[in-house]
Chain A
Amino acid sequence: MSYAKPIPTITPDMKPFFDAAKRHELVVQRCRQCGTHRFPAREICSQCLSRESEWVQVSGLGEVFSYNVMHQVYQAGFAAEVPYAVVVVKLREGPKLVSNLVGVPPHDIKIGAPVRVVFEDITDEVTLPKFTPA
Protein backbone atom coordinates (compact mmCIF):
# COMPACT_ATOMS: atom_id res chain seq x y z
CA MET A 1 0.00 0.00 0.00
CA SER A 2 1.33 3.43 -0.87
CA TYR A 3 2.14 5.99 1.77
CA ALA A 4 -0.93 8.22 2.27
CA LYS A 5 0.44 11.14 4.31
CA PRO A 6 2.07 14.23 2.81
CA ILE A 7 5.56 13.57 1.49
CA PRO A 8 7.79 16.60 1.95
CA THR A 9 9.34 18.11 -1.12
CA ILE A 10 13.11 17.87 -1.01
CA THR A 11 14.12 21.44 -1.73
CA PRO A 12 17.78 22.15 -2.62
CA ASP A 13 18.41 23.94 0.68
CA MET A 14 17.05 21.03 2.73
CA LYS A 15 18.58 18.22 0.65
CA PRO A 16 21.45 17.57 3.08
CA PHE A 17 18.89 16.98 5.85
CA PHE A 18 16.97 14.42 3.80
CA ASP A 19 20.16 12.78 2.53
CA ALA A 20 21.30 12.32 6.13
CA ALA A 21 17.89 11.10 7.29
CA LYS A 22 18.04 8.42 4.62
CA ARG A 23 21.30 7.25 6.22
CA HIS A 24 19.47 7.44 9.58
CA GLU A 25 21.50 10.38 10.74
CA LEU A 26 20.14 13.64 12.08
CA VAL A 27 21.86 16.78 10.84
CA VAL A 28 21.20 20.48 11.30
CA GLN A 29 22.94 23.57 9.98
CA ARG A 30 25.70 25.17 11.99
CA CYS A 31 27.07 28.64 11.42
CA ARG A 32 30.78 28.49 10.59
CA GLN A 33 31.33 31.92 12.13
CA CYS A 34 29.49 31.86 15.47
CA GLY A 35 28.77 28.14 15.81
CA THR A 36 25.01 28.53 16.36
CA HIS A 37 23.01 25.48 15.30
CA ARG A 38 19.85 26.18 13.32
CA PHE A 39 16.94 24.37 11.72
CA PRO A 40 15.36 24.40 9.19
CA ALA A 41 17.83 25.63 6.58
CA ARG A 42 18.44 29.35 6.33
CA GLU A 43 20.86 31.08 4.02
CA ILE A 44 22.04 33.56 6.63
CA CYS A 45 22.67 33.10 10.35
CA SER A 46 20.12 35.20 12.27
CA GLN A 47 22.63 35.57 15.14
CA CYS A 48 25.72 36.89 13.35
CA LEU A 49 24.47 37.28 9.74
CA SER A 50 27.24 35.09 8.35
CA ARG A 51 26.47 33.27 5.11
CA GLU A 52 28.95 30.51 5.88
CA SER A 53 27.38 27.35 7.26
CA GLU A 54 27.73 23.59 7.28
CA TRP A 55 25.48 20.65 8.01
CA VAL A 56 26.62 18.73 11.08
CA GLN A 57 25.40 15.58 12.75
CA VAL A 58 23.81 16.16 16.15
CA SER A 59 23.21 13.92 19.13
CA GLY A 60 19.59 13.17 18.30
CA LEU A 61 18.87 13.76 21.98
CA GLY A 62 16.57 16.40 23.32
CA GLU A 63 13.36 16.97 25.19
CA VAL A 64 9.71 17.54 24.47
CA PHE A 65 9.41 21.33 24.34
CA SER A 66 5.70 21.46 23.57
CA TYR A 67 2.98 19.49 21.86
CA ASN A 68 -0.53 19.78 20.53
CA VAL A 69 -3.21 17.23 19.80
CA MET A 70 -4.73 17.50 16.36
CA HIS A 71 -8.42 16.66 16.14
CA GLN A 72 -9.29 17.88 12.66
CA VAL A 73 -8.44 15.93 9.54
CA TYR A 74 -6.60 18.29 7.19
CA GLN A 75 -5.26 15.53 4.99
CA ALA A 76 -6.75 12.09 4.39
CA GLY A 77 -3.60 10.23 5.43
CA PHE A 78 -4.21 11.25 9.03
CA ALA A 79 -7.91 10.34 9.10
CA ALA A 80 -7.37 7.06 10.92
CA GLU A 81 -5.11 8.64 13.54
CA VAL A 82 -7.07 11.59 14.94
CA PRO A 83 -6.64 12.64 17.63
CA TYR A 84 -2.87 12.45 17.21
CA ALA A 85 -0.08 14.54 18.72
CA VAL A 86 2.51 16.73 17.09
CA VAL A 87 5.51 17.59 19.23
CA VAL A 88 8.18 20.24 19.17
CA VAL A 89 11.47 18.68 20.25
CA LYS A 90 14.24 20.92 21.48
CA LEU A 91 17.55 19.30 20.66
CA ARG A 92 20.46 19.47 23.09
CA GLU A 93 22.23 21.54 20.47
CA GLY A 94 19.41 24.12 20.53
CA PRO A 95 17.29 23.85 17.39
CA LYS A 96 13.65 22.86 17.61
CA LEU A 97 12.06 20.31 15.32
CA VAL A 98 8.39 19.69 14.66
CA SER A 99 7.93 15.94 14.80
CA ASN A 100 5.97 13.03 16.22
CA LEU A 101 6.63 11.03 19.36
CA VAL A 102 6.54 7.34 18.57
CA GLY A 103 5.04 4.93 21.10
CA VAL A 104 3.46 7.49 23.45
CA PRO A 105 -0.31 8.09 23.46
CA PRO A 106 -1.11 11.82 22.99
CA HIS A 107 -2.30 12.39 26.55
CA ASP A 108 0.73 10.69 28.09
CA ILE A 109 3.12 13.18 26.53
CA LYS A 110 4.96 15.30 29.08
CA ILE A 111 6.73 18.55 28.36
CA GLY A 112 10.35 18.16 29.42
CA ALA A 113 10.47 14.42 28.84
CA PRO A 114 13.81 13.27 27.35
CA VAL A 115 13.62 11.87 23.83
CA ARG A 116 15.91 10.43 21.18
CA VAL A 117 15.63 10.37 17.43
CA VAL A 118 14.38 7.38 15.44
CA PHE A 119 13.92 7.14 11.69
CA GLU A 120 10.92 6.16 9.60
CA ASP A 121 11.54 5.33 5.94
CA ILE A 122 8.30 6.52 4.35
CA THR A 123 9.33 6.06 0.70
CA ASP A 124 12.44 4.91 -1.13
CA GLU A 125 13.57 8.55 -1.28
CA VAL A 126 12.30 10.08 1.95
CA THR A 127 12.98 9.23 5.58
CA LEU A 128 11.43 11.20 8.43
CA PRO A 129 13.23 11.67 11.73
CA LYS A 130 10.82 11.06 14.60
CA PHE A 131 11.38 10.76 18.33
CA THR A 132 10.82 8.22 21.09
CA PRO A 133 11.34 8.35 24.87
CA ALA A 134 15.04 8.26 25.68
Chain B
Amino acid sequence: MNLKGATAIAGLGITKQGKVFHTNQIGLAIEAVQLALDDAGLTRGDLDGLLLNPGLSWADQGMGSFQLQQAMGLHDLKLSVTMNAGGATACAMIQHAAQAIAAGLCSTVACVFSDAPLKPPKPKGEGKAGGGSAGAYGFARGLDAAYGQFGVNAMYAMVAQRHMHLYGTTNDHFGAIAVAQRRWANLNPAAEFCGTPMTIEDYHRSRWVVEPFHLFDCCLVSNGGLAVIVTSAERARNLKQPPVYIWGMGQGHPGGDPSERLASGAGMARDIAFRMAGIGLKDIDVVELYDCYTFTVLVCLEDYGFCAKGEGGPFVADGKTGPGGSLPVNTGGGQLSSFYMWGMTPVSEGVIQVRGAGGKRQVPNVKSALVSGNGGILSTHSTLVLSNQPS
Protein backbone atom coordinates (compact mmCIF):
# COMPACT_ATOMS: atom_id res chain seq x y z
CA MET B 1 0.00 0.00 0.00
CA ASN B 2 1.47 3.38 -1.01
CA LEU B 3 0.74 5.99 1.64
CA LYS B 4 1.68 8.96 -0.56
CA GLY B 5 -0.73 11.77 0.20
CA ALA B 6 -2.97 9.57 2.36
CA THR B 7 -2.42 11.70 5.44
CA ALA B 8 -1.54 15.29 6.23
CA ILE B 9 -0.30 17.55 8.98
CA ALA B 10 -3.31 19.71 9.79
CA GLY B 11 -2.12 21.63 12.84
CA LEU B 12 1.10 23.06 14.23
CA GLY B 13 1.63 24.33 17.77
CA ILE B 14 4.83 25.97 18.98
CA THR B 15 5.00 27.31 22.52
CA LYS B 16 7.27 30.13 23.57
CA GLN B 17 10.80 28.76 23.27
CA GLY B 18 14.03 29.16 25.19
CA LYS B 19 14.26 30.43 28.76
CA VAL B 20 10.64 29.57 29.56
CA PHE B 21 10.11 28.87 33.23
CA HIS B 22 6.38 29.29 33.93
CA THR B 23 5.57 25.60 33.71
CA ASN B 24 7.16 22.16 33.50
CA GLN B 25 7.49 19.73 30.59
CA ILE B 26 3.93 18.44 31.01
CA GLY B 27 2.53 21.96 30.97
CA LEU B 28 4.56 22.77 27.88
CA ALA B 29 3.31 19.62 26.14
CA ILE B 30 -0.31 20.54 26.91
CA GLU B 31 0.21 24.09 25.63
CA ALA B 32 1.74 22.78 22.41
CA VAL B 33 -1.16 20.38 21.79
CA GLN B 34 -3.70 23.12 22.48
CA LEU B 35 -1.94 25.47 20.06
CA ALA B 36 -1.83 22.76 17.39
CA LEU B 37 -5.53 21.95 17.86
CA ASP B 38 -6.45 25.65 17.63
CA ASP B 39 -4.31 25.97 14.53
CA ALA B 40 -6.17 23.07 12.90
CA GLY B 41 -9.58 24.18 14.06
CA LEU B 42 -10.01 21.07 16.17
CA THR B 43 -10.72 20.45 19.82
CA ARG B 44 -9.35 18.03 22.39
CA GLY B 45 -12.27 15.66 21.82
CA ASP B 46 -11.24 15.20 18.19
CA LEU B 47 -8.00 13.48 19.19
CA ASP B 48 -7.97 9.71 19.26
CA GLY B 49 -4.20 9.24 19.18
CA LEU B 50 -1.26 10.62 21.15
CA LEU B 51 2.43 10.05 20.51
CA LEU B 52 4.95 11.63 22.85
CA ASN B 53 8.68 12.11 22.49
CA PRO B 54 9.79 12.90 26.02
CA GLY B 55 12.71 15.30 26.36
CA LEU B 56 15.42 15.00 29.00
CA SER B 57 13.28 16.46 31.76
CA TRP B 58 10.78 13.59 31.41
CA ALA B 59 13.57 11.14 32.22
CA ASP B 60 12.39 9.92 35.59
CA GLN B 61 8.74 9.64 34.56
CA GLY B 62 7.51 6.43 32.99
CA MET B 63 4.54 6.11 30.63
CA GLY B 64 4.84 9.67 29.39
CA SER B 65 2.02 9.55 26.83
CA PHE B 66 -0.36 8.24 29.51
CA GLN B 67 0.73 10.96 31.90
CA LEU B 68 0.06 13.54 29.22
CA GLN B 69 -3.31 11.95 28.42
CA GLN B 70 -4.33 12.20 32.07
CA ALA B 71 -2.94 15.70 32.49
CA MET B 72 -4.98 17.04 29.58
CA GLY B 73 -8.06 14.91 30.05
CA LEU B 74 -8.00 12.92 26.84
CA HIS B 75 -10.40 9.98 26.68
CA ASP B 76 -10.81 6.88 24.56
CA LEU B 77 -7.52 7.11 22.68
CA LYS B 78 -6.97 4.38 20.12
CA LEU B 79 -3.22 5.00 19.97
CA SER B 80 -0.94 6.10 22.81
CA VAL B 81 2.80 5.53 22.82
CA THR B 82 5.90 7.17 24.27
CA MET B 83 8.67 7.08 21.68
CA ASN B 84 12.36 7.78 21.85
CA ALA B 85 14.82 7.36 19.00
CA GLY B 86 16.60 10.56 19.97
CA GLY B 87 16.54 13.24 17.30
CA ALA B 88 14.94 10.83 14.85
CA THR B 89 11.78 10.57 16.95
CA ALA B 90 9.84 13.52 15.55
CA CYS B 91 9.64 12.30 11.94
CA ALA B 92 9.21 8.74 13.20
CA MET B 93 6.21 9.74 15.35
CA ILE B 94 4.59 11.34 12.33
CA GLN B 95 5.35 8.25 10.27
CA HIS B 96 3.73 5.93 12.79
CA ALA B 97 0.74 8.24 13.21
CA ALA B 98 0.29 8.34 9.43
CA GLN B 99 0.54 4.56 9.16
CA ALA B 100 -2.03 4.04 11.92
CA ILE B 101 -4.43 6.55 10.33
CA ALA B 102 -4.01 5.07 6.85
CA ALA B 103 -4.68 1.60 8.29
CA GLY B 104 -7.92 2.83 9.83
CA LEU B 105 -6.77 2.30 13.40
CA CYS B 106 -7.42 5.88 14.45
CA SER B 107 -8.19 9.20 12.79
CA THR B 108 -6.45 12.17 14.41
CA VAL B 109 -3.15 11.97 16.26
CA ALA B 110 -1.21 14.58 18.20
CA CYS B 111 2.57 14.10 17.96
CA VAL B 112 4.25 15.98 20.78
CA PHE B 113 7.68 16.91 22.07
CA SER B 114 8.39 18.97 25.15
CA ASP B 115 11.30 19.58 27.43
CA ALA B 116 12.37 21.87 30.23
CA PRO B 117 16.05 21.18 30.85
CA LEU B 118 16.87 24.83 31.57
CA LYS B 119 16.37 25.97 35.14
CA PRO B 120 15.75 29.54 36.27
CA PRO B 121 19.00 31.48 36.81
CA LYS B 122 20.84 30.56 40.01
CA PRO B 123 24.40 30.76 41.31
CA LYS B 124 26.82 29.07 38.95
CA GLY B 125 27.92 25.59 39.94
CA GLU B 126 29.78 22.79 38.28
CA GLY B 127 28.61 21.54 34.94
CA LYS B 128 27.29 18.05 34.80
CA ALA B 129 28.07 15.19 32.52
CA GLY B 130 25.55 14.22 29.86
CA GLY B 131 25.88 11.33 27.46
CA GLY B 132 22.67 9.46 28.14
CA SER B 133 23.19 6.99 25.32
CA ALA B 134 26.94 6.64 25.85
CA GLY B 135 26.70 3.00 26.82
CA ALA B 136 25.25 2.06 23.45
CA TYR B 137 28.46 3.06 21.72
CA GLY B 138 30.57 0.78 23.84
CA PHE B 139 32.13 3.48 25.95
CA ALA B 140 32.33 2.45 29.58
CA ARG B 141 30.47 4.79 31.87
CA GLY B 142 32.68 6.26 34.54
CA LEU B 143 35.77 5.23 32.63
CA ASP B 144 35.33 8.08 30.11
CA ALA B 145 35.13 10.56 32.96
CA ALA B 146 38.37 9.25 34.43
CA TYR B 147 40.08 10.42 31.25
CA GLY B 148 38.22 13.71 31.21
CA GLN B 149 35.64 12.94 28.55
CA PHE B 150 32.24 14.29 29.53
CA GLY B 151 29.02 14.59 27.60
CA VAL B 152 27.74 14.06 24.10
CA ASN B 153 29.56 17.09 22.66
CA ALA B 154 32.87 15.34 23.31
CA MET B 155 31.74 12.04 21.79
CA TYR B 156 30.37 13.76 18.68
CA ALA B 157 33.60 15.77 18.41
CA MET B 158 35.55 12.51 18.07
CA VAL B 159 33.48 11.60 15.02
CA ALA B 160 33.78 15.08 13.49
CA GLN B 161 37.55 14.96 13.96
CA ARG B 162 37.68 11.74 11.92
CA HIS B 163 35.71 13.38 9.11
CA MET B 164 38.12 16.32 9.11
CA HIS B 165 41.09 13.96 9.06
CA LEU B 166 39.84 11.74 6.24
CA TYR B 167 38.17 14.33 4.00
CA GLY B 168 39.89 17.62 4.78
CA THR B 169 36.77 19.17 6.29
CA THR B 170 37.58 22.38 8.20
CA ASN B 171 36.07 24.73 10.74
CA ASP B 172 35.51 27.18 7.87
CA HIS B 173 33.14 24.58 6.42
CA PHE B 174 31.32 24.09 9.72
CA GLY B 175 31.23 27.87 10.10
CA ALA B 176 29.61 28.31 6.68
CA ILE B 177 26.68 26.22 7.91
CA ALA B 178 26.45 28.13 11.19
CA VAL B 179 26.49 31.50 9.42
CA ALA B 180 23.94 30.42 6.79
CA GLN B 181 21.55 29.24 9.48
CA ARG B 182 22.04 32.40 11.52
CA ARG B 183 21.12 34.45 8.45
CA TRP B 184 17.89 32.45 8.22
CA ALA B 185 17.26 32.96 11.94
CA ASN B 186 17.66 36.70 11.50
CA LEU B 187 14.55 36.52 9.26
CA ASN B 188 12.54 34.41 11.75
CA PRO B 189 10.85 36.36 14.56
CA ALA B 190 10.37 33.12 16.53
CA ALA B 191 14.12 32.35 16.55
CA GLU B 192 16.08 32.84 19.76
CA PHE B 193 18.87 34.45 17.72
CA CYS B 194 16.57 36.50 15.45
CA GLY B 195 18.10 39.81 16.50
CA THR B 196 21.71 38.60 16.64
CA PRO B 197 23.67 38.56 13.36
CA MET B 198 26.79 36.41 13.09
CA THR B 199 29.77 36.57 10.72
CA ILE B 200 32.29 33.84 10.01
CA GLU B 201 34.71 35.85 12.19
CA ASP B 202 32.17 35.75 15.04
CA TYR B 203 31.96 32.00 14.52
CA HIS B 204 35.74 31.55 14.77
CA ARG B 205 35.89 33.84 17.80
CA SER B 206 33.18 31.92 19.66
CA ARG B 207 34.73 29.87 22.44
CA TRP B 208 35.73 26.27 21.99
CA VAL B 209 33.41 23.86 23.73
CA VAL B 210 35.37 20.82 22.72
CA GLU B 211 37.57 20.96 19.64
CA PRO B 212 36.70 20.75 16.82
CA PHE B 213 33.41 22.31 18.01
CA HIS B 214 33.08 25.99 18.72
CA LEU B 215 30.09 27.19 20.72
CA PHE B 216 28.32 28.06 17.45
CA ASP B 217 28.76 24.52 16.13
CA CYS B 218 26.43 23.33 18.87
CA CYS B 219 22.66 23.59 19.01
CA LEU B 220 20.77 25.65 21.53
CA VAL B 221 19.18 24.12 24.59
CA SER B 222 15.57 25.26 24.87
CA ASN B 223 12.60 24.85 27.14
CA GLY B 224 9.37 24.56 25.21
CA GLY B 225 6.81 22.33 23.56
CA LEU B 226 5.97 21.57 19.96
CA ALA B 227 3.11 19.50 18.55
CA VAL B 228 1.60 18.64 15.20
CA ILE B 229 -1.78 17.12 14.43
CA VAL B 230 -1.77 14.33 11.85
CA THR B 231 -5.02 13.25 10.23
CA SER B 232 -6.33 11.82 6.97
CA ALA B 233 -5.83 13.94 3.87
CA GLU B 234 -9.58 13.97 3.40
CA ARG B 235 -10.24 15.35 6.84
CA ALA B 236 -7.38 17.83 6.58
CA ARG B 237 -8.95 19.36 3.49
CA ASN B 238 -11.94 20.39 5.61
CA LEU B 239 -9.93 22.03 8.37
CA LYS B 240 -8.65 25.55 8.97
CA GLN B 241 -5.15 25.32 7.50
CA PRO B 242 -4.04 24.27 4.02
CA PRO B 243 -3.08 20.58 4.34
CA VAL B 244 0.58 19.67 4.49
CA TYR B 245 0.45 16.31 2.77
CA ILE B 246 2.77 13.56 3.88
CA TRP B 247 4.18 12.25 0.63
CA GLY B 248 6.95 10.03 1.87
CA MET B 249 8.39 8.59 5.05
CA GLY B 250 11.23 6.30 5.98
CA GLN B 251 13.77 5.38 8.63
CA GLY B 252 17.38 4.21 8.61
CA HIS B 253 19.26 2.97 11.63
CA PRO B 254 22.61 1.62 10.41
CA GLY B 255 24.05 0.26 13.68
CA GLY B 256 27.71 -0.17 14.47
CA ASP B 257 30.28 2.50 15.21
CA PRO B 258 29.53 5.98 13.81
CA SER B 259 33.20 6.95 14.01
CA GLU B 260 33.99 4.16 11.52
CA ARG B 261 30.99 4.85 9.25
CA LEU B 262 31.12 8.67 9.22
CA ALA B 263 27.66 8.43 7.71
CA SER B 264 24.12 8.56 9.02
CA GLY B 265 21.12 6.43 8.07
CA ALA B 266 19.87 9.22 5.79
CA GLY B 267 20.56 7.30 2.58
CA MET B 268 18.45 4.36 3.73
CA ALA B 269 15.62 6.56 4.97
CA ARG B 270 15.72 8.68 1.80
CA ASP B 271 15.36 5.67 -0.48
CA ILE B 272 12.24 4.50 1.33
CA ALA B 273 10.67 7.97 1.55
CA PHE B 274 11.48 9.02 -2.01
CA ARG B 275 10.23 5.75 -3.47
CA MET B 276 6.92 6.32 -1.71
CA ALA B 277 6.77 9.95 -2.82
CA GLY B 278 7.89 9.13 -6.35
CA ILE B 279 10.37 12.00 -6.34
CA GLY B 280 14.09 12.68 -6.51
CA LEU B 281 16.39 15.23 -4.92
CA LYS B 282 15.70 17.69 -7.78
CA ASP B 283 12.05 17.86 -6.67
CA ILE B 284 12.95 19.14 -3.20
CA ASP B 285 12.51 22.88 -2.73
CA VAL B 286 13.58 23.28 0.90
CA VAL B 287 15.64 21.05 3.18
CA GLU B 288 15.09 20.96 6.95
CA LEU B 289 17.86 18.82 8.45
CA TYR B 290 18.31 17.79 12.03
CA ASP B 291 21.14 19.94 13.34
CA CYS B 292 22.45 19.07 16.77
CA TYR B 293 25.79 20.27 15.34
CA THR B 294 26.91 21.98 12.13
CA PHE B 295 28.78 18.74 11.42
CA THR B 296 25.54 16.74 11.41
CA VAL B 297 24.10 18.97 8.68
CA LEU B 298 27.26 18.54 6.61
CA VAL B 299 27.20 14.74 6.91
CA CYS B 300 23.48 14.50 6.15
CA LEU B 301 23.84 16.67 3.03
CA GLU B 302 26.37 14.06 1.88
CA ASP B 303 24.21 11.12 2.88
CA TYR B 304 21.07 12.44 1.16
CA GLY B 305 23.20 12.75 -1.98
CA PHE B 306 23.27 16.53 -2.42
CA CYS B 307 27.04 16.00 -2.79
CA ALA B 308 29.40 13.04 -2.63
CA LYS B 309 30.65 11.50 0.64
CA GLY B 310 33.46 13.63 1.99
CA GLU B 311 32.58 16.66 -0.15
CA GLY B 312 30.16 18.25 2.29
CA GLY B 313 32.70 20.86 3.34
CA PRO B 314 33.47 22.35 -0.09
CA PHE B 315 29.76 21.97 -0.96
CA VAL B 316 28.56 24.32 1.80
CA ALA B 317 31.56 26.66 1.70
CA ASP B 318 29.98 29.15 -0.72
CA GLY B 319 26.97 29.74 1.52
CA LYS B 320 24.50 28.09 -0.85
CA THR B 321 22.42 26.84 2.08
CA GLY B 322 21.63 30.36 3.29
CA PRO B 323 18.95 32.90 2.26
CA GLY B 324 19.04 33.45 -1.51
CA GLY B 325 21.26 30.39 -2.01
CA SER B 326 20.62 27.56 -4.42
CA LEU B 327 19.82 24.99 -1.69
CA PRO B 328 17.83 26.49 1.20
CA VAL B 329 18.67 24.48 4.34
CA ASN B 330 17.18 24.99 7.81
CA THR B 331 15.25 28.03 6.75
CA GLY B 332 14.09 29.06 10.21
CA GLY B 333 17.61 29.04 11.61
CA GLY B 334 17.43 25.42 12.70
CA GLN B 335 18.32 24.17 16.12
CA LEU B 336 21.62 26.03 15.97
CA SER B 337 19.94 29.44 15.80
CA SER B 338 16.17 29.25 16.32
CA PHE B 339 15.22 26.76 19.05
CA TYR B 340 15.95 23.17 19.97
CA MET B 341 12.90 20.92 20.10
CA TRP B 342 14.85 17.85 19.03
CA GLY B 343 13.52 16.82 15.59
CA MET B 344 10.36 18.86 15.94
CA THR B 345 12.25 22.03 14.98
CA PRO B 346 12.90 20.85 11.39
CA VAL B 347 9.37 19.38 11.20
CA SER B 348 7.80 22.70 12.18
CA GLU B 349 9.84 24.66 9.65
CA GLY B 350 8.96 22.15 6.93
CA VAL B 351 5.27 22.66 7.70
CA ILE B 352 5.64 26.46 7.69
CA GLN B 353 7.51 26.52 4.37
CA VAL B 354 5.09 24.12 2.66
CA ARG B 355 2.18 26.26 3.84
CA GLY B 356 3.90 29.33 2.44
CA ALA B 357 3.70 30.91 5.89
CA GLY B 358 7.38 31.74 6.32
CA GLY B 359 7.04 35.52 6.10
CA LYS B 360 10.37 37.17 5.37
CA ARG B 361 12.14 33.84 5.25
CA GLN B 362 9.66 32.12 2.95
CA VAL B 363 11.38 30.39 0.06
CA PRO B 364 9.47 31.22 -3.16
CA ASN B 365 7.32 28.57 -4.85
CA VAL B 366 7.84 25.77 -2.35
CA LYS B 367 5.96 22.61 -3.20
CA SER B 368 7.97 19.97 -1.41
CA ALA B 369 10.14 19.90 1.70
CA LEU B 370 12.61 17.28 2.85
CA VAL B 371 12.63 16.94 6.65
CA SER B 372 15.07 14.80 8.62
CA GLY B 373 15.59 13.58 12.13
CA ASN B 374 18.89 12.19 13.36
CA GLY B 375 19.52 10.66 16.75
CA GLY B 376 22.38 9.39 18.82
CA ILE B 377 25.64 10.01 17.05
CA LEU B 378 24.63 9.52 13.38
CA SER B 379 22.87 6.37 14.59
CA THR B 380 19.10 6.77 14.16
CA HIS B 381 17.54 8.54 11.20
CA SER B 382 14.09 9.38 9.88
CA THR B 383 12.89 11.22 6.79
CA LEU B 384 9.63 12.88 5.77
CA VAL B 385 8.68 14.39 2.44
CA LEU B 386 5.99 17.06 2.88
CA SER B 387 4.07 18.78 0.11
CA ASN B 388 1.22 21.22 -0.42
CA GLN B 389 0.08 19.16 -3.41
CA PRO B 390 -2.31 16.26 -2.76
CA SER B 391 -0.40 13.94 -5.09
Residues on A facing B (Cβ under 8 Å): 5-9, 11, 14, 38-42, 65-76, 78, 81, 83-84, 86, 88, 96, 98-100, 106, 111-112, 122, 128, 130
Contacts and interface: CB of A to CB of B under 8 A. Distances in A.
A8 to B, nearest CB: 4
B138 A96 contact: yes
Given A8-B142, A68-B211, A100 B158 contact: no
Contact of A67 (B129, B140, B161): B161
Contacts, number: 109
B150 A98 contact: no
A104 B127 CA distance: 27
Contact of B259 (A41, A88, A130): A88
Interface in B114-134: 126-129
A76 B126 contact: yes
Contacts of B210: 68-72
Contacts of B1: none
Interface string B130-152: 00000000111011111111110
A110 B315 CA distance: 26
11 contacts: A8-B143, A38-B138, A66-B161, A70-B154, A72-B127, A72-B210, A74-B129, A74-B145, A75-B150, A98-B143, A111-B162
Contacts of A40: 138-140, 143
B207 interface: yes
B165 A70 contact: no
A65 B211 contact: no
Given A66-B161, A73-B127, A76-B126, A6 B145 contact: yes
B243 interface: no
A76 B145 CA distance: 12
Nearest to B137: A96
B157 interface: yes
A39 B259 CA distance: 15
B143 A66 contact: no
Nearest to A74: B150
Nearest to B135: A40
A111 B161 contact: yes
Nearest to B257: A96
Contact of B144 (A83, A98, A112): A98
A116 to B, nearest CB: 17
Contacts of A130: 147
B308 interface: no
B142 A6 contact: yes
A9 B145 CA distance: 11
A96 to B, nearest CB: 7
A39 B208 CA distance: 30
Ordered nearest first, which 9 A-B pairs have the shortest CB separation?
Answer: A40-B140, A69-B211, A74-B150, A68-B157, A71-B208, A6-B145, A8-B142, A86-B149, A66-B158
